[in-house]
Copies of this chain bind each other. A is one copy, B any other.
């Protein structure tokens, strides 16, 4: 089993979820995060005083799936999340060594 972790633009969330739906994902968990990569930060201001904000709001999407589905899901996310401009985000993949479905107690791939 693998975990796919994609950090994307918040405004791409809906499209990514739709893409996952289409490609058939087993389940997905979403995080509100802030990130900083190559994308330039923002200048905000308060009562006349400007300041830089380096951490920009991002969404993180995590899917645990079978090994054979990794590529398909990665591609689905990537193509839904792409704008071509700096700040599109990244996808990382991790090994998952065990899974358990709380409701039924199933283990392993059956639990995903």
Interface residue ranges, A against B (CB under 8 Å)? 1-3, 6-8, 17, 26-38, 54-55, 58, 60, 64, 70, 74, 77-78, 81-103, 105, 111-112
Which 7 interchain pairs have the tightest Cβ spacing? A27-B37, A93-B98, A88-B103, A88-B102, A91-B100, A29-B35, A30-B34
State the oligomeric state as a number of copies: 3
Q: Which of B55, B78, B83 contacts A105 (CB 8 A)?
A: B78
Closest to A71 in B: B98
- Is B99 a contact partner of A92 (Cβ separation < 8 A)? yes
Using known A-B contacts A7-B29, A29-B60, A90-B27, determine if residue A82 contacts B102 with beta carbons closer than 8 Å.
Answer: yes
Which residues of chain B have C-beta atoms less than 8 A from A87's C-beta?
103
Which residues of chain B have C-beta atoms less than 8 A from A101's C-beta?
88, 90
A35 to B30 CA separation, bound complex (whole angstroms)? 6
Q: Which of B90, B94, B99 contacts A102 (CB 8 A)?
A: B90
Which residues of chain B have C-beta atoms less than 8 A from A38's C-beta?
27
